[in-house]
Amino acid sequence: MPIEYLSDRAVFHERVPAEEAEGLLEWLQDHQKAVMDLGPCAHLHTAILQILLCALCPIGVLPREPRLRAWLLSSIRAEEGPPVVSRQDR
């Protein structure tokens, strides 16, 4: 399962394809205070990134994968996107 949905957190695992976008959007509509855990994520489709940016989802854990982490941080800064709650891996 690319995204594991918990009561207060969504954990993104390995590769998260575009097909997960609709489910993520629906879940976020019901869990507006949820925090995103991207620690285990190695690849994120741009459709997923767009949802995270538009929804301003707080990111509790950044990806451990260095290139994805850098891409995500540059996207957040460029778009004034979601807040990064913690930059440390958990």
Q: Give per-residue pLDDT as tens, 15-24.
A: 999 999 999 9
Q: Residue type for 49, please?
A: L
| CA contacts within 13 A on the Cβ side of 5 | 11
Please tell me the pTM assigned to this model. Answer: 0.86
- For position 90, what pLDDT does the model report? 44
User: Using one digit for the tens of pLDDT, what is the confidence trace for 24-75?
Assistant: 999 999 999 999 999 999 999 999 999 999 988 899 999 999 999 999 998 8
CA–CA dist 55, 71 (Å, integer) = 18
Of residues 88 and 41, more confidently modeled: 41
